[in-house]
Amino acid sequence: MSSQLGRKIKNVKVSIDDESRAMLKDLSGKQGLILYFYPRDNTPGCSTEALDFQSQLARFRKAGYAVVGVSADSVKSHQRFIQKKQLEFTLISDTDLQLCNAFAVYGEKKFMGKTHMGIHRRTFILDPSLKVIKEYLQVRVKDHVQTVLADLGLQGAV
């Protein structure tokens, strides 16, 4: 697990849930981008995390931050996930793992005694120039979004 803190991320073109491609920098809000990586659409933990970000989306947006989720699921899978969970933020389909590898979130995982390759649940806050200003490398879904709000000084804001 390597730190990305202080690193400027390359402005790459990504596939997003509306079937278009966009430059990563263009997805940022005025103050920055909250980029969270998750293993798979429509699984319990990933659904909870997405709904937690959704529940605080107005607060993040008012403060100038965009929230964007990233997984290796297809655009079609993202569209179903967005519709089912009524998400109002962008999901990046990183099927080629370009972004996952850039952030070092893809690697060996253990689950129920078995080892496999997959995306580690991690969150990064980037400034508008795509410099990593905060990272969460050991994300636990419960209270994660509240921790991000607190770290950005947004606990009391509405």
> What fold does the segment set 13-151 form as a domain?
Glutaredoxin (3.40.30)
pTM above 0.85, yes or no: yes
Contact at 8 Å (CB) between 109 and 100? no
Q: Which residues are catalytic?
A: 46
Q: Provide the β-strand partners of residue 117.
A: 108
Distance CA 105, CA 117 (A): 10
Closest-CA residue to 116 (of 103, 107, 125, 124) = 107
Taking only the tens place, the pLDDT of each residue in 71-97 is 999 999 999 999 999 999 999 999 999
User: Residue 112 is encoded by which pair of tokens?
Assistant: 């129920």
Q: What pLDDT is stored for residue 156 in this prediction?
A: 62
Cβ-based neighbours of 111, under 8 Å, separated by 6 or more = none
